[in-house]
Amino acid sequence: MKRTETRRTRLPKLWKYLAPLAGPLLVGLLLVLLIRFYPYQLNFSGFPHLTQTASGVAGDPINLILIGSQAQITRSFEQAGWLIPDPITPQTTIKIVTDSLAHRSYPTAPVSNLYVFGHAQDLAFEKPTNDVQNRGHVRFWKTTTHLGGELVWVGQASYDNGIELSGSTHFPTHHILPTVDLERRSVGIDLQSTGLVRAEGEVAYSPPILAARNGGGDYYESDGDVLVINYTSAPLHLTRPAAVIGGLKIGAFLLYDALLSAFTSVGALVALLIIVIVGAIIAGNVLWRWARRQRVPAGQHSSPSS
């Protein structure tokens, strides 16, 4: 009898502490599901969403679309302070390894090959720092599509932050930061500053990616948008989600980017997300059980005396 009464008093006490958290956790979980599984109307549906390594493993996500000539693209990147990487040769490979170990600058260090449409990038640029391990870099591939009389290019932007052994080839390669959306926006800001771009805009390109791995084994996340950079005067008819959904997605991934930038490892963030989800489930379960108990008639709460 005493044990039964003690058990009955635990739930209200537990609910007293969980009640303030249950609402926000459940709302947050519902928002995550809404942002991830909302039926976005995607643009450029015929284009691939991911690059590939030479062995066919999924690489970094496509997050740039350029409309313009090769000369226009090259000129704008050069004016924005981006450089053309050296080709991959035994000499440049040795140089990038030795400079990485010494944390020296190598402004035109080679960029590894990624593949779209069955071939390596047609163009590549990098934005160097004083340490070859850290740099912004982009790759572009020609499509067969033309808009405004100019070619459409698909591109991939990410930021290198260290050297590691590739998870697929086990050779030294750059480690990318998981916040690829931030690098996409950084590229757009740099190119817009040149005055050569006619229009820029971010639109839905693939479903949001909460967590994925590239060919090197690095984690990344993305809101699934692509930055469209137009060097022509041709108008673009692009589809955007409802303002409310678009705003929620932007806000959620800005928070996600901030958390990833603050945490020292993606594993720690994944653990945090698991804790939030599990906490939401537990809180919901406690709420449901408490509500059921409240509906039981008062006379049925106590066990009959012996």
pLDDT in tens, 42-54: 999 999 999 999 9
Helix 2-37 vs helix 243-262: crossing angle, to nearest 10:
110
- Confidence band (pLDDT; 50, 70, 90) for 305? very low
Mean pLDDT of the 124-136 span: 95
Q: Which two tokens stand for residue 246?
A: 């678009």
- List CB contacts of 302: < 8 A, sequence separation 6 or more: none
Judged by average pLDDT, the poorest of 39-53, 143-157, 200-214, 291-305 is 291-305
- Confidence band (pLDDT; 50, 70, 90) for 32? confident
**Would the pTM of this model clear 0.75, i.e. be above it?**
yes
Task: Give one DSSP letter per residue of 118-182, joined into a string.
Answer: TEE-SEEEEEE-SSTTEEEEEEEEEEEEEETTEEEEEEEEEEEEEEEE-TTT-SEEEEEPSBHHH
Specify the pLDDT at position 203. 96
C-alpha to C-alpha distance for 141 and 120, rounded to whole angstroms: 8
Q: Taking the mean position of all CA atoms in its chain, how far away is CA 145?
A: 26
Is the predicted pLDDT of residue 171 greater than 70, yes or no?
no
Mean pLDDT of the 228-241 span: 93
Specify the pLDDT at position 261. 82
pLDDT, greater one: 290 or 95: 95
3-state secondary structure 7-55: HHHHHHHHHHHHHHHHHHHHHHHHHHHHHHHCCCCCCCCCCCCEEECCC
- Confidence band (pLDDT; 50, 70, 90) for 302? very low
Judged by average pLDDT, the poorest of 12-16, 57-61, 153-157, 299-303 is 299-303
Phi, psi of 48 (to 5 degrees): -70, 155
Specify the pLDDT at position 306. 40
Specify the pLDDT at position 280. 61
Is the predicted pLDDT of residue 77 greater than 50, yes or no?
yes
C-alpha to C-alpha distance for 195 and 191, rounded to whole angstroms: 8
If residue 212 lies in a helix (H) or strand (E), which one and from where to where?
Answer: strand 209-213
Give me the residue label for tokens 């408490």.
290
β-bridge mates for residue 115, sequence order: 52, 120
Is the predicted pLDDT of residue 296 greater than 80, yes or no?
no
Contact by Cβ (8 Å): 187, 76: no
